[in-house]
Amino acid sequence: MHRARHRLQSDVVLETTVLVNRMMMKRPLLLLLLLQLVLENQALRHSNSYYYQDLSPDGKGNEEIYFSGVRLHVESPQTMVSAVQGGNVTLPCVYRYEPEVSSPRRTRVKWLWQPNTGETKELHVMVAFGSRHRSYGDFQGRVRLRRSAPGDASLVIDQLQNDDTGRYRCEIIDGLEDESITVELQFRGVVFPYYSPVGRYQFNFQEAKEACEQQAACLATFEQLYEAWDEEKLDWCNAGWLADGTAQYPVSVPRDACGGTEMAPGVRSYGMRDKSIDRFDVFCFTSSIRGEVYFLQHKLRLNFSEAVEECAQDGAQIAKVGQLYAAWRFAGLDQCDAGWVADGSVRYPITKPRANCGPLEPGVRSFGFLPHHLKFGVYCHKVRW
Ligand SMILES: *[C@@H]1O[C@H](CO)[C@@H](O)[C@H](O)[C@H]1NC(C)=O
Ligand SMILES: *[C@@H]1O[C@H](CO)[C@@H](O)[C@H](O)[C@H]1NC(C)=O
């Protein structure tokens, strides 16, 4: 028996093929017109589905062809997913057959990804076939398919690591045919301005980068700073380095002390700067919720060296600035007590503003860098895994 497998696109095809089938012998001209229509229609449409059809002439020299078209749809309700480093994430991917197939199909699910690190090749994350599955590289033991319903091929990743961001592709393979969708994973984070204990505008580019890293963060990108300005009304009147080597600052409320009232609110740029000569503050980005930040309950107030020591006694470490920001933003840490943090500054996180706890907006309040003999509480950070 002659069998041919055709790969056709768009919804119109199936509807018209039935019609074509009936008219095939009698109306060749109309058939041509119809096909042309179909092709034009196809050119206009972008569809993430395909048909495959087993064509089986009845073997009696009859030209009639029987179609048994089944279409596979692969979809994702979200093409962009954000998550927090150290948290879990589900990358949605669902497939279904149309019309529904009665017998179970041998469907292979493959998840691939292209890291944000400039890698051009796609790497394997996981392959699943029936009840068998295999995960690769750093993903081993951290990934599984959600399988919450038939056709659910969503990928669950646990304990997100800092280099897990990128473009993920869910590929569904049935026989010779495959179809896929992509989902972008990015980190949700918080941008914070940072400056040197020595004073304002002290960092060259490399020092700025290291300063962020020492506080469990990295240099913010322009997109991250823009989002912080746009969504959280970040307002900071000192220019800071960004990852692309520009120096910029976000202004929500234009004012004289901050570039004047003539200019509209926005992220203002000093443009690309000389990375070794020019000196600014810095904007850092942190997304990590690994571990827990807490205010150490202690009978006494502590100077800086005692603070470091007491966290260690508690099986923890004095918290870094990035960790305090992440705990404030993602774990809702709210504590109206000034405490030492790792860089020798004194801060406290407020999510529910109230009397005697600083300004009316939520935020991490800072007293700046203070002499180490002064006595305060302390914020510690404990790693959970
Ligand atoms: C992530 O999922 C694991 C189980 O897979 C669970 O134990 C853990 O609490 C989850 N973590 C977060 C931050 O949701
Ligand atoms: C903190 O107090 C201890 C005594 O408890 C003292 O030995 C230490 O020098 C003090 N550190 C600072 C930075 O003042």
Contact 71, 49 (CB under 8 A): yes
Same domain, 58 and 88: no
Three-state SS letters, the chain: CCCCECCECCHHHHHHHHHHHHHCCCCHHHHHHHHHHHHHHHHHCCCCEEEECECEECCCCCCCEECCCEEEEEECCCCEEEECECCCEEECCEEEEECCCCCCCCEEEEEEEEECCCCCCCEEEEEEECCEEEECHHHCCCEEECCCCCCECCEEECCCCCCCCEEEEEEEEECCEEEEEEEEEEECCEEEEECECCECCCECHHHHHHHHHHCCCEECCHHHHHHHHHHHCCCCCCCEECCCCEEEEEECCCEHHHCECCCCCEEEEEEECCCCCCCEEEEEEECECCCEEEECCCCCCECHHHHHHHHHHCCCEECCHHHHHHHHHHCCCCCCCCEECCCCEEEEEECCCCCCCCCCCCEEEEEEECCCCCCEEEEEEECCC
Nearest to 353 by CA among 369, 368, 342, 364: 364
Q: What is the pLDDT of residue 385?
A: 52
Same domain, 64 and 76: no
Contact 86, 288 (CB under 8 A): yes
Single out the residue in 268, 286, 304 at which a domain terminates: 286
Contact 280, 242 (CB under 8 A): no
Atom 4 of ligand 1, residue of closest alpha carbon? 158
CB atoms within 10 A of CB 371: 8
Contact residues for 339 (Cβ-Cβ < 8 A; gap 6+):
295, 296, 307, 346, 347, 348, 376, 377, 378, 379
Rounded CA separation 118/126 (Å): 21
The verdict on the CB of residue 159 being under 6 Å from ligand 1 is no
Distance 319 CA to ligand 2 centre (A): 19
Same domain, 305 and 280: no
Same domain, 280 and 296: no
Same domain, 206 and 114: no
Contact 361, 299 (CB under 8 A): no
Single out the residue in 187, 209, 224 at which a domain terminates: 187
Nearest to 106 by CA among 152, 179, 172, 55: 172
> What total of structural domains would you count in the chain?
4
The verdict on the CB of residue 87 being under 6 Å from ligand 1 is yes
Same domain, 280 and 312: no
Note the ligand closest to the C-alpha atom of 290: 1
The best mutation among 142, 158, 159, 383 to test binding of ligand 1, ranked by most ligand atoms within 8 Å of the C-beta, falls on 158
Same domain, 232 and 245: yes
Q: Which CATH number is 99's domain given? A: 2.60.40.10
Q: What is the pLDDT of residue 225?
A: 95
Nearest to 222 by CA among 268, 173, 291: 268
Length of the chain: 385
Same domain, 109 and 181: yes
Atom 13 of ligand 1, residue of closest alpha carbon? 87
Q: Which CATH number is 219's domain given? A: 3.10.100.10
Same domain, 118 and 177: yes
Single out the residue in 267, 286, 305 at which a domain terminates: 286
Contact 171, 113 (CB under 8 A): no
Q: Tens-of-pLDDT digits for all 385 residues of the chain?
A: 343 333 333 333 333 333 333 334 444 444 444 444 444 343 333 333 333 333 333 333 222 222 357 788 899 989 999 998 888 999 999 999 888 877 777 899 999 999 877 678 899 999 999 889 999 999 999 999 999 998 999 999 999 987 898 999 999 998 777 899 999 998 889 999 999 999 999 999 999 999 999 999 999 999 899 999 999 899 999 999 999 999 999 999 888 888 888 888 999 999 999 999 999 999 999 987 788 999 999 889 999 999 999 999 999 999 999 999 999 999 999 999 999 999 999 999 999 999 999 999 999 999 999 999 999 999 999 987 5
Nearest to 101 by CA among 40, 47, 165, 151: 151
222 lies in which domain range? 194-286
The best mutation among 300, 301, 306 to test binding of ligand 2, ranked by most ligand atoms within 8 Å of the C-beta, falls on 306
Angle at 159 between CA 378 and CA 76, to 5 degrees: 130
Contact residues for 100 (Cβ-Cβ < 8 A; gap 6+):
none
Rounded CA separation 17/217 (Å): 58
Same domain, 59 and 77: no
Distance 384 CA to ligand 2 centre (A): 30
Rounded CA separation 155/335 (Å): 36
User: Residue 176: left if φ>0, alpha if ψ -120 to 50, beta else—which one?
Assistant: alpha
The verdict on the CB of residue 210 being under 6 Å from ligand 1 is no
For residue 302, the cross-strand partners are 376
Note the ligand closest to the C-alpha atom of 310: 2
Same domain, 275 and 336: no
Same domain, 210 and 161: no
Q: What is the pLDDT of residue 256?
A: 87
Distance 84 CA to ligand 1 centre (A): 12
The best mutation among 305, 308, 376 to test binding of ligand 2, ranked by most ligand atoms within 8 Å of the C-beta, falls on 305
